[in-house]
Amino acid sequence: MLNGLLKLIYDLNKSGIITIQRMCFTCSNYQLEQGVHYCKLLKSQLAENELRIDCQEHELQI
Ligand code: SF4
C-alpha cells in the first residue's frame, strides 16, 4: 500500500499537480533493480517503508 501511495505521489508530481521535489523516485541517487530499491548516496537498500518523500540529501535527476 505504501509503495502504491508513493507511486501515486510520483505520478502527481510528474503531472505537475503537486510539487514535492525531494522524493526518492525523482532523485539521481535512487535505483530500482529487480524490485529492490537502492540509494547510491547511502550505499544501502531501502525497504519500502524507508523510501522518502522529503529527503534533505535529495539530488534532482537531470
Ligand atoms: S538521497 Fe534521499 S531521496 Fe535520494 S535516493 Fe537516497 S534516500 Fe532517496
Residue 27 near ligand 1, beta carbon < 6 Å: yes
Pocket test for ligand 1, best of 23, 25, 58 (most atoms within 8 A of CB): 58
Q: How confident is the model at residue 13 (pLDDT cuts 50, 70, 90)?
A: confident
pTM (2 d.p.): 0.79
Residue 20 near ligand 1, beta carbon < 6 Å: no
- Report the pLDDT value the prediction gives residue 44, as an integer from 0 to 100: 97
Q: Look at the block and give the residue holding cell 524490485.
A: 35
Contact criterion met (CB below 8 Å) for 55 and 24: yes
Q: Reduced to 3 states, what is the DSSP secondary structure of residue 46?
A: strand
How far apart, in whole angstroms, are the C-alpha atoms of residue 44 and residue 10? 21
Which sequence spans correspond to the domains of the chain?
A: 2-50
Q: How far is the CA of 38 from the centre of ligand 1 (A)?
A: 9
